[in-house]
Each structure stands twice: as structure tokens, then as C-alpha cells.
Structure 1
Amino acid sequence: MHIPLFDFLKSGKLLAQILQLNVKQTIIYLSLQGNTFSSLLQRTFNRTPIMDISGMRHPYHDKNDYFLEDNIEVKEPLDLFHKWFQVVKTDTRTVEPNAMCLSTCTKYVVFCQT
């Protein structure tokens, strides 16, 4: 099955098809070939879960929680980082305050470096 990558991304069909799979039983190997995704191999395993780990999940913000520039007190990026780092390095809930991800973005692209 060959479907243009743009069509998948535009319609969200790729995500929908992956979500319809029974993840516990199916592994799908996809390859990027030119501008199309190819479904190369589908293998089914009949395994039962060893334990239920769903209770370990932490709640995250939902799509209605926005963090806008208006919410930032300090507009200068380095000053904002300094203010944040002063708070987080004394917070006992933060295990490793120097572990971070720095991201920049434009209207169309997000760049990230860990």
C-alpha cells in the first residue's frame, strides 16, 4: 500500500490507522520511501501484558492550556532563563534542574536541541 506522505499528514489518516491497531499484538514497520510511507511488514504476536502500568501516568496540560507571550513577565530570553533557573534549582521536586530542552520556533517550524 503506497499513500503519498502529504495526504497522510494532511488528513491525519496515518495517525488514525496506527491508533486503530492493537498495539499489544501488532508491530508495523514503516519505511519512508521517496515521499510515501510503505507498510512493509506486519507481524502479530499473541502476548498478554505482564502488568498494567497505566496507573503510573502523570496528568499533563490539555489542549486548552495555553502559554502565551503575554504570560511571560520577563521578555528577554536569557533573563527569563536566569529567573526560572533560580527558582527551579531550589525546588526539591526537581531532580535534575540542569537537564533541559532548548527550543526555538517560527510560525511553521520548531527546532529543538537537548
Structure 2
Amino acid sequence: MIKIYHNPRCSKSRQGLAIIEESGKEFTVVKYLDETLDEKELSELITLLNISPIELVRKNEKTWKEDYKGKELSDQEIIKAMVENPKLIERPIVVNNKKAVIGRPPESINDIL
């Protein structure tokens, strides 16, 4: 089953959702700002994406710049920051079975459909 971690206010996330809808495949939408992820779920996503936690952070977000930028943070501390501030999570994230991709650019979603 395809799952998209989606922020409706984000244009890239909306474009990613449209790509999945056009595929005609069954999927579920997780509005991660409303249905917040816990540390375990976020860690599993990072593992599926095959990236380090810092690569999932939106570093231009005000919260990151004010509270975290320039600090020496462990991977676990970065994950905790994203759990506490889900706006810091890059979007959209699409998971299809054991594959995952960050939809930036949105066309990269096609790689796992």
C-alpha cells in the first residue's frame, strides 16, 4: 500500500499527491502535522529513505534557524526535534512497501510507484 506523508499547505506536497492520484493506485494520506509521528515511526521512515536524520530537516524553517541551527545535535536529538516540531520534516514523503522517497522534486515519486 502506498502512503504519502502530506502537508496540504505545501505546493510540492500537493503536486506529489496529484502524481499518486494520477497513478490510479490505492494509497493513504497521512497529514503528519495533524497525526504527528512518534520517534519510532520517524526513525523507521528515515531508515526506509536511507538517509541521515539531518537530511530530512527543513533547514530554512524559522524554528530550525532559531532553536537548532549551529548546535551539535545527535541523530536522536534531531529526530526528537522533528517529532516536537513536525513542520521541520521535509515533504512529501511517499512510502511504497519497503521503498520510500522524498518528493522533491515531485517527479521522483514515480521511481517507487
TM-score clears 0.5: no
Which structure ranks higher in relative contact order (CA pairs < 8 Å, sequence separation ≥ 6)? 2
> Which has more helix, going by share of residues?
2
- Structure number with greater Rg is 1
Considering fraction of residues, name the structure with more strand: 1
Q: TM-score range by the shorter chain?
A: under 0.3
So what's the TM-score if we normalise by structure 2? 0.20
